[in-house]
């Protein structure tokens, strides 16, 4: 009985704290939480003592009626615990779905999508029949409104093909744009954990650090009015974007939903900091506790150890020796034998070959050597080498983030990057053009397919942004207003408030980053709209 009393007192206090607005910035938006807490409190006040008494009486007296009553009430009293500990690990898809429908406390922010997310996790735990898969897909396709939980669930459902991680990443990033108020915390954590694993897999340590740190930023969306209260203007946000500190400001004002606390994200932060040779990487008790709370903690520990060891023996770029040909060929070997991670490295590679192929003295020396060997047409050999070099650069340009200015750019790399950028811009324009055409013709897709288009668009946008220093600006200037129109249509005509809000949010943040202030302002205002 005392257990029920403690739970009841806890929720009474939570409701009181929320109602009198002690939560600081959080007091702007805790309404749904107060309602949720109040509902939970009511449930426990009405049924909690009876449920606990049934358990105690049933066990003490071995009374089957009391035990039956206690068992029957368990899915009502603790639906999420039942799902998380029993039905999900056992892979019971339908049972998980129906029990999770009762979990208003954990999944209430996405009343229909949250249970689908839980069912999808259950689906992933063991091989399932085609019938079950069809049932699950059908549930997603029938959703009236896609919210954060269902968007995450859809991304998890399609995340089966490990070779298609790029698209999986775009789906997760698309899900991360949903407002926290429509995204159950468990879904947001899953998105954060997936993106952290992806960044670690790609050895993008800065991205891993950014994902890990996003777990703690404030949860609450600050609309224009709250920004005003905080003393942050739109132009200040734009300035922060140009200084590269936009994420900090946005996190502080809470406009990007946090992933929430997760031991995996805590360990990710330690991994990234060790890889980046941070002066003070997390260690000690907090890290040990985080590791203890991680599922499969031995794998996380292995990654920590591996990163610590690899930073000691990290491959160093070959130092120049003065022999242009030897330097170029050695750099070629270096970039071909391991993943190239920076544009600076790629430009260095391009410049090394330019010193061989286009400098008169080195070229004359090579022609002399060719004549001595009896080569009739050394130019043919040069052309072949040039072809190999440009092919290597073209392949690498697609992999590396070229989205920043380089002090000494290589012409070969710049030309290859421009070609890649143009192809990617074309693909992005085609995608957004098709969406615009559909909007103009009022042609509606199932909600999950609208989300899929958002994810594809994010994927293409990111590719353009990474292809050149001006890639992001170019991409946004081409598609910003069409995306806003699409989101308005989703809001006004299709009542897809959550997805539209996610697109507004994306357009606002990217508008600020690319200095399209007016469009950013429109989208910031749109984010503040209330639907439903």
Partner 1 sequence: MDDRFGDNPFFVLELEVGCTSMDVMRQADKLIGMLELGVEKAATYPTPAGDKPRTVDKVRAARARLLVPEKRFFDEIWAKARAVDGAAAQAAGPDLFGALWWR
- Contact residues for partner 1, defined by CB under 8 A: 88, 121, 124, 156, 159, 162, 190, 193-194, 196-197, 200-203, 264, 294-296, 299-300, 302-303, 306, 310, 313-316, 318, 321, 323, 325-326, 329-330, 332-334, 337-339, 366, 369-370, 373-378, 380-381, 384-385, 388
Residues whose CB is less than 8 angstroms from the CB of residue 443 and which lie 6 or more positions away in sequence, other chains included: none
Annotate 233-251 with b (16+ C-beta within 10 A) or e (fewer). Answer: ebeebbebbeeeebbebbb
* Smallest separation (angstroms) from partner 1 to the CB of 326: 4
Paired tokens of 250: 């946005």
Q: Quickly tell me which residue has 């170019």 as its tokens.
A: 474
Nearest to partner 1 of 161, 405 (CB atom): 161
Q: Which residues neighbour 483 within 8 Å (Cβ) at sequence distance 6 or greater?
A: 432, 435, 457, 503, 506, 507
**Residue among 185 and 227 whose Cβ is closer to partner 1:** 185
- In the complex, minimum distance from the CB of residue 216 to partner 1, in angstroms, rounded to a whole number: 20
Q: Which two tokens stand for residue 256?
A: 């990007």
Q: How far is the CB of 346 from partner 1 (least distance, A)?
A: 16
Q: Which is nearer to partner 1, 45 or 385 (CB)?
A: 385
DSSP letters of 308-375?
HHHHHTPPPPPPP-S-HHHHHHHHHHHHHHS----HHHHHHHHHHHHHHHS-HHHHHHHHHHHHHHT-
Taking alpha carbons only, the member of 470, 475, 469 closest to residue 404 is 469
* Ramachandran assignment for 360, one of left (phi > 0), alpha (psi -120 to 50 degrees), beta (any other): alpha
Query: Which of 375/395 has CB closer to partner 1?
Result: 375
Given the complex with partner 1, which of 80 and 461 has the nearer CB atom? 80
* Residue 384, token pair as written in the block: 């072949």
CA 264 to chain centroid, in Å, comes to 15
Closest to 151 (Cα-Cα) out of 454, 520, 362:
454
Q: Are 355 and 323 in contact (CB under 8 A)?
A: no
Distance (Å, whole) CA 251 – CA 508: 14
Alpha-carbon Rg for the chain, nearest whole angstrom, is 28
Nearer to partner 1, 32 or 201 (CB): 201
Q: How far is the CB of 186 from partner 1 (least distance, A)?
A: 9
Cα separation, 190 vs 213, in Å, equals 15
Q: How far is the CB of 311 from partner 1 (least distance, A)?
A: 12
Q: Which is nearer to partner 1, 121 or 435 (CB)?
A: 121
Q: Which residue has the tokens 């990487």?
A: 281
Residue 463 tokens read as 């590719």
Smallest separation, CB 471 to partner 1 (Å)? 24
Output the smallest distance, CB 142 to partner 1, in A.
23
Q: What are phi and psi of 441, to 5 degrees?
A: -90, 0
The smaller minimum CB distance to partner 1, of residues 298 and 405, is found at 298
Which of 161, 184, 189 is CA-nearest to residue 172? 189
Q: What is the dihedral of CA 282, 283, 288, 290, to 10 degrees?
A: 0
Nearer to partner 1, 377 or 442 (CB): 377
What is the rounded distance in angstroms from the CA atom of residue 69 to the CA atom of residue 73? Answer: 6
**What are the Cα distances from residue 106, in Å, to 19, 31, 53, 264, 478?**
20, 16, 25, 20, 40
Q: Which is nearer to partner 1, 66 or 265 (CB)?
A: 265
Q: Which is nearer to partner 1, 263 or 281 (CB)?
A: 263
Q: For residues 331 and 501, which CB has a smaller minimum distance to partner 1 in the complex?
A: 331
């Amino acid at each position: 009985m005392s257990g029920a009393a403690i739970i009841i007192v806890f929720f009474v206090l939570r409701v009181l704290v929320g109602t009198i607005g002690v939560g600081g910035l959080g007091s702007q938006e805790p309404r749904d939480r107060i309602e949720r807490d109040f509902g939970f409190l009511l449930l426990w006040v009405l049924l909690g003592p009876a449920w606990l008494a049934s358990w105690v009486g049933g066990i003490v007296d071995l009374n089957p009626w009391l035990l039956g009553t206690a068992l029957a009430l368990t899915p009502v009293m603790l639906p999420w615990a039942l799902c998380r500990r029993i039905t999900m690990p056992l892979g019971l898809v339908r049972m998980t779905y129906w029990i999770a429908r009762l979990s208003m406390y954990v999944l209430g922010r996405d009343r229909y999508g949250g249970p689908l997310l839980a069912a999808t996790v259950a689906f992933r735990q063991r091989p399932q029949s085609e019938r079950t898969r069809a049932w699950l897909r059908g549930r997603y396709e029938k959703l009236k409104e896609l919210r954060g939980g269902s968007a995450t669930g859809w991304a998890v459902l399609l995340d089966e093909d490990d070779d298609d991680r790029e698209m999986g990443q775009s789906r997760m990033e698309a899900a991360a744009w949903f407002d926290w108020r429509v995204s159950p915390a468990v879904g947001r954590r899953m998105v954060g954990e997936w993106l952290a694993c992806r960044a670690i897999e790609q050895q993008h340590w800065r991205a891993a650090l950014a994902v890990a740190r996003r777990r703690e930023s404030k949860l609450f969306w600050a609309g224009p009015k709250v920004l005003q209260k905080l003393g942050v203007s739109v132009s200040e946000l734009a300035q922060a974007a140009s200084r590269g500190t936009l994420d900090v400001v946005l996190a502080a004002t809470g406009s990007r939903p946090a992933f929430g606390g997760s031991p995996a994200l805590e360990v990710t932060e330690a991994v990234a900091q060790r890889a980046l040779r941070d002066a003070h990487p997390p260690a000690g008790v907090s890290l040990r506790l985080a590791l203890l709370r991680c599922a499969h903690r031995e794998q996380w520990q292995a990654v920590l150890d591996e990163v610590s060891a690899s930073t000691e023996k990290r491959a160093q770029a070959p130092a120049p020796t003065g022999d242009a040909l030897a330097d170029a060929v050695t750099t070629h070997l270096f970039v071909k034998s391991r993943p190239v991670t920076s544009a600076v490295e790629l430009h260095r590679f391009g410049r090394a070959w330019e010193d061989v192929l286009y400098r008169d003295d080195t070229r004359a020396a090579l022609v002399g050597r060719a004549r001595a060997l009896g080569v009739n047409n050394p130019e043919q050999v040069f052309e072949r080498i040039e072809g190999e070099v440009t092919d290597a650069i073209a392949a690498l340009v697609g992999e590396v983030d070229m989205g920043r200015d380089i002090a000494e750019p290589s012409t070969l790399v710049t030309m290859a990057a421009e070609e890649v950028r143009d192809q990617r811009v074309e693909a992005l324009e085609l995608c957004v053009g098709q969406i615009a055409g559909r909007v103009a013709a009022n042609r509606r897709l199932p909600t999950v397919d609208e989300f899929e288009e958002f994810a594809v668009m994010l994927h293409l946008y990111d590719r353009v942004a990474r292809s050149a220093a001006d890639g992001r600006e170019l991409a946004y200037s081409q598609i910003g207003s069409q995306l806003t129109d699409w989101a308005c249509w989703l809001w006004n005509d299709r009542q897809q408030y959550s997805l539209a809000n996610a697109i507004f949010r994306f357009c606002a943040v990217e508008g600020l980053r690319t200095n399209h202030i007016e469009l950013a302002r429109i989208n910031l205002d749109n984010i503040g709209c209330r639907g439903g």
